[in-house]
């Protein structure tokens, strides 16, 4: 699964949990989230999103905040499917899309996909986003972005996704995954 899609889906969960400062890294096919600002409510929201069928007494009790969550490929696919159903029911579409955390993460993921990274670690704060990553050939590198720069990347990414070519002619594609 592309980093852009995975990061967008994770970002949607973080928006619901109202989490704005965090660290996110790859762990094989999984994504591990850590945050010192994760509240008990935020953790409950993420735990429920990642384990929707676990409504046992233990999950309902107030447990200490673990400040971390793991998103597996199956979690991301399930959450994406739920979000697609929700987007179909939303009208009019969100006009503030590129200021939302999920879309900023999507833009970052698209950038990581384009430069073909194999692993990464994101440190997200209110001021900036730092990314340490490893390319497919094993070379480490890093970048720092502002929210404005990610918005620019997102608008460029959307333009690339909106155009496809059929029979040598560019055709505008309908967006159903946003």
pLDDT per residue rounded down to tens, the chain (178 residues) = 699 999 999 999 999 999 989 999 999 999 999 999 988 899 889 988 888 765 544 444 445 556 889 999 999 999 999 888 877 776 555 555 557 899 999 999 999 999 999 999 999 998 899 999 999 999 999 999 998 999 998 876 654 544 444 445 554 444 444 4
3-class DSSP string for 16-66? HCCCCCEEEEEECCEEEEECCCCCHHHHHHHHHHHCCCCCCHHHHCCCCCC
**Beta strand 30-34 with 117-124: parallel, antiparallel or unpaired?**
unpaired
Q: Exposure pattern of 134-156 as b/e (b: 16+ CB <10 Å)?
A: eeeeeeeeeeebebebbbebbee
pTM of the entire predicted model: 0.78
């Amino acid at each position: 699964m592309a980093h852009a899609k995975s990061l967008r889906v994770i970002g949607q969960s973080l928006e619901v949990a109202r989490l704005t400062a965090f660290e996110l890294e790859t762990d094989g096919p999984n994504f591990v989230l850590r945050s010192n600002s994760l509240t008990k409510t935020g953790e409950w929201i993420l735990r429920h999103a990642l384990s929707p069928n676990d409504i046992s007494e233990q999950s309902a009790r107030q447990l200490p905040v673990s400040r971390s969550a793991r998103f597996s490929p199956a979690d991301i696919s399930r959450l994406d499917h739920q979000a697609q159903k929700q987007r179909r029911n939303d009208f009019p579409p969100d006009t503030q899309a590129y200021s939302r955390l999920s879309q900023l993460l999507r833009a970052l993921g698209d950038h990581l996909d384009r430069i073909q990274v194999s692993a990464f670690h994101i440190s997200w704060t209110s001021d900036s986003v730092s990314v340490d990553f490893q390319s497919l050939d094993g070379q480490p590198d890093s970048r720092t972005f502002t929210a404005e720069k990610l918005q620019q990347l997102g608008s460029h990414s959307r333009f690339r996704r909106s155009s496809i070519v059929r029979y040598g002619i560019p055709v505008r594609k309908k967006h159903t995954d946003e």
